[in-house]
């Protein structure tokens, strides 16, 4: 193993003294690792807030009629839950936290191409988050339009829609700047010898994601600006009373927001492609197929947006075309899943916590993906459109997909980021809680949706009571699991044993530097000769 740091000279990025001191040494740091860590903290805080709101929603659904809140509060809570979870947790999620931390290290660079721009992105993220949350407390009341801001209601309601929209605009800016930073970094800062097809697959995923961020986000930016202008000046563009067309809003909104789900899931798939070779000690099966499938998901993902609008009013031809493209996206996703499973075949599987999260991901994401086909199909979509079925599908792919991999990445790279180790047994315990709670909660929602329970309703018919009750219990089990997980990590951070440089036997570049890495990452920029998982093929590591 390459001991790159002289023990006497070694100063980790956590202890590094720059020109700022105290908290400013973090808040003004342009070091990609510190920025990544700050993002991670922000994301965990916002996730906890969003999860609390989600638990409140489920508590309300324990009984029909009023349980703990009135209908207007319910509207506000599900809106805020959506906005926080989407714009503040899963969109920045893996790319901003783990991407920032590991992208430069994994390509053998000392930082991203534009470190100061990176810091600006982080600040915009924080400002956007604060604005979004402050809309709760300001006059006009918390917004009640749902996270998708559909007009004309978003124009008519008196709640703080403009402020929340402005927050989303700023968050979009943050996302764009991160995206262009990553694209440039991947093009310009790869270590000597690291061609595109020698990059780790996580980098391929981040690269594809960064392109979506750059290309899709401006469209929602202008849409948001138009809704704000509509509310301020009545320009008429989305207002049917003045001749505008609300359906055009939906088109522009989903032109971004559908590719955005690939912003959310692609980086997670990249993490999976890292964790599986490490814990099976095998070279990834079909490296190029996985790399290309990231790009093709990013590309095809642009042409499917109107599958969110099958019931909004469109020509049959348009609907059929969008349905067809939606099915096409399933192909590269399927390629990935088969390649992952094929990698495990005959591998020497070491079922550590990160691997177990990945295994859980494959199960949950497959359920989410296959129910996605039900929704992509025109005839069946008409039946389940706007029901709990959609909510369950979405949570299976986004929560069961992205957030589970966020947890996996947290457990995989935790020793590298902090140089400490958590308790594996407790982590597995938390994982079991989460898995049981998750399926209890969301699988019942598939059934509820199929039976006709509409989403976003504050009340329900008596026949739905049993399943609603079971689903809510599942939510509480899951929250318990999450709390165990977080406390275990915090305990590991404060009191855990020191972690080795390479606890899992990983072979990508981040495992060749000390844990935690130095401020410069590498004393000497490595020269790359082989693909990232080549070493497993040679059988050099058992």
> Which residues, at least 6 apart from 169, have a Cβ–Cβ distance to it below 8 Å?
221, 224, 225, 228
Residues of span 351-380 touching other proteins by CB under 8 A: none
- Find the shortest distance in angstroms from Cβ 254 to other proteins: 12
Single residue of 147, 173, 254, 361 touching other proteins by CB under 8 A = 173
Q: Is 150 in the site for other proteins (CB under 8 A)?
A: no
- Find the shortest distance in angstroms from Cβ 168 to other proteins: 12
Query: Could you give the CA distance from residue 406 to residue 269 in angstroms, rounded to a whole number?
Result: 10
Report the chain's terminal Cα–Cα distance, integer Å. Answer: 14
Of 206, 215, 201, the residue nearest 183 (C-alpha): 206
Q: Near other proteins by CB under 8 A, which window of 23-31, 53-61, 152-160, 534-542? A: 23-31
Query: Could you give the CA distance from residue 147 to residue 430 in angstroms, rounded to a whole number?
Result: 30
Single residue of 61, 88, 96, 219 touching other proteins by CB under 8 A = 219
Q: Is 156 in the site for other proteins (CB under 8 A)?
A: no
Is the Cβ of residue 123 or residue 450 nearer to other proteins in the bound state? 123
Q: Is 124 in the site for other proteins (CB under 8 A)?
A: yes
Q: Is 184 in the site for other proteins (CB under 8 A)?
A: yes
Site size toward other proteins (CB under 8 A) is 52
Q: Is 214 in the site for other proteins (CB under 8 A)?
A: yes
Query: Could you give the CA distance from residue 408 to residue 274 in angstroms, rounded to a whole number?
Result: 11
Residue 245: how many CB atoms within 10 A of its CB? 14
Interface mask (CB under 8 A) for other proteins, residues 235-264, using x and -?
A: xxx----xxxx--x---x--x---------
User: In sequence order, what DSSP letters do the residues of 434-486 get, joined into one string?
Assistant: HHHHHHHHHHHHHHHHHHT-BTT-S---GGGHHHHHHHHHHHHHHHHHHHHHH
Q: Determine the 3-state secondary structure of 387 from DSSP.
A: strand
- Find the shortest distance in angstroms from Cβ 413 to other proteins: 22
- Find the shortest distance in angstroms from Cβ 20 to other proteins: 10
Specify whether the CB–CB gap between 455 and 386 falls below 8 A. Answer: yes
Output phi, psi for 126, to 5 deg.
-65, -45
Torsion of CA 165, 166, 168, 171, to 10 degrees: 180
Is the Cβ of residue 217 or residue 278 nearer to other proteins in the bound state? 217
Is the Cβ of residue 40 or residue 180 nearer to other proteins in the bound state? 180
Is the Cβ of residue 90 or residue 212 nearer to other proteins in the bound state? 212
Q: Is 26 in the site for other proteins (CB under 8 A)?
A: no
User: In sequence order, what DSSP letters do the residues of 390-425 get, joined into one string?
Assistant: HHHHHHHHIIIIIIHHHHHHHHHHHHHHHSB---HH
- Find the shortest distance in angstroms from Cβ 301 to other proteins: 15
Q: Is 501 in the site for other proteins (CB under 8 A)?
A: no
Q: Is 520 in the site for other proteins (CB under 8 A)?
A: yes
Strand extents, DSSP E, 135-226: none
Single residue of 170, 405, 489, 528 touching other proteins by CB under 8 A = 170
| 9 membership: H or E segment, kind and range | none
Single residue of 14, 55, 62, 229 touching other proteins by CB under 8 A = 229
Single residue of 6, 7, 17, 19 touching other proteins by CB under 8 A = 19
Of 25, 97, 32, the residue nearest 519 (C-alpha): 32
Query: Could you give the CA distance from residue 138 to residue 136 in angstroms, rounded to a whole number?
Result: 6
Q: Determine the 3-state secondary structure of 151 from DSSP.
A: coil
Single residue of 79, 100, 113, 439 touching other proteins by CB under 8 A = 113
- Residues at the site binding other proteins, with contacts judged by CB under 8 A: 18-19, 29-31, 110-111, 113-117, 120, 124, 169-170, 173, 176-177, 179-181, 183-184, 187-189, 214-215, 217-219, 221-223, 225-226, 229, 233-237, 242-245, 248, 252, 255, 519-520
């Amino acid at each position: 193993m390459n001991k790159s740091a002289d023990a006497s000279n070694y100063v980790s990025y956590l202890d590094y003294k720059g020109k700022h001191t105290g908290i400013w040494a973090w808040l003004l740091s342009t070091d990609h690792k510190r920025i990544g860590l700050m993002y991670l903290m922000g994301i965990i805080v916002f996730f906890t807030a969003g999860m609390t709101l989600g638990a409140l929603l489920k508590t309300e659904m324990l009984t029909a009629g009023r349980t703990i809140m009135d209908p207007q509060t319910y509207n506000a809570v599900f809106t805020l839950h959506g906005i926080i979870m989407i714009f503040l947790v899963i969109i920045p999620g893996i790319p901003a936290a783990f991407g920032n931390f590991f992208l430069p290290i994994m390509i053998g660079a000392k930082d991203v191409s534009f470190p100061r721009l990176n810091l600006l992105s982080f600040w915009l993220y924080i400002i956007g988050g604060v604005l979004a949350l402050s809309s709760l407390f300001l006059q006009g009341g918390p917004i009640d339009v749902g996270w998708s801001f559909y007009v004309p209601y978003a124009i008519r309601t008196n709640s703080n829609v403009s402020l929340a929209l402005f927050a989303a605009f700023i968050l979009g800016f943050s996302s764009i700047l991160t995206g262009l930073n990553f694209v440039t970094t991947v093009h310009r800062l790869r270590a000597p010898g690291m061609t595109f097809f020698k990059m780790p697959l996580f980098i391929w995923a981040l690269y594809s994601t960064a392109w979506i961020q750059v290309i899709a986000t401006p469209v929602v930016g202008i849409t948001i600006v138009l809704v704000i202008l509509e509310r301020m000046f009545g320009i008429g563009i989305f207002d049917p009373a003045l001749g505008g067309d609300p359906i055009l809003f939906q088109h522009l909104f989903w032109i971004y927001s559908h590719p955005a789900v690939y912003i959310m899931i692609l980086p997670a798939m990249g993490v999976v492609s890292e964790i599986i070779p490490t814990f099976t000690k095998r070279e990834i099966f079909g490296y190029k197929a996985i790399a290309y499938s990231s790009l093709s998901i990013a590309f095809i993902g642009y042409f499917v947006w109107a599958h969110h609008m099958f019931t909004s009013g469109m020509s049959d031809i348009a609907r059929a075309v969008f349905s067809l493209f939606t099915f096409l996206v399933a192909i590269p996703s399927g390629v990935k899943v088969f390649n992952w499973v094929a990698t495990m075949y005959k591998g020497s599987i070491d079922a550590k916590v990160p691997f177990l999260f990945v295994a859980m991901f494959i199960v949950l994401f497959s359920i989410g993906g296959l129910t996605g086909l039900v929704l992509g199909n025109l005839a069946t979509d008409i039946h389940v459109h706007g029901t709990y079925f959609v909510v369950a599908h979405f949570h299976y792919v986004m929560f069961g997909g992205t957030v589970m991999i966020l947890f996996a990445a947290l457990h995989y790279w935790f020793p590298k980021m902090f140089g400490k180790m958590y308790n594996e047994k407790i982590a597995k315990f938390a994982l079991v809680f989460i898995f049981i709670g998750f399926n209890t909660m969301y699988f019942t929602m598939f059934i509820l949706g199929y039976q006709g329970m509409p989403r976003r309703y504050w009340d329900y018919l008596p026949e739905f009571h049993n399943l609603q009750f079971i689903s809510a219990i599942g939510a509480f089990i899951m929250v318990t699991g999450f709390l165990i997980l977080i406390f275990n990590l915090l305990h590991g951070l404060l009191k855990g044993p020191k972690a080795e440089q390479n606890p899992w036997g990983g072979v990508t570049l981040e495992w060749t530097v000390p844990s935690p890495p130095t401020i410069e990452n590498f004393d000497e920029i490595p020269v790359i000769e082989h693909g990232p998982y080549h070493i497993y093929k040679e059988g050099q590591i058992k």
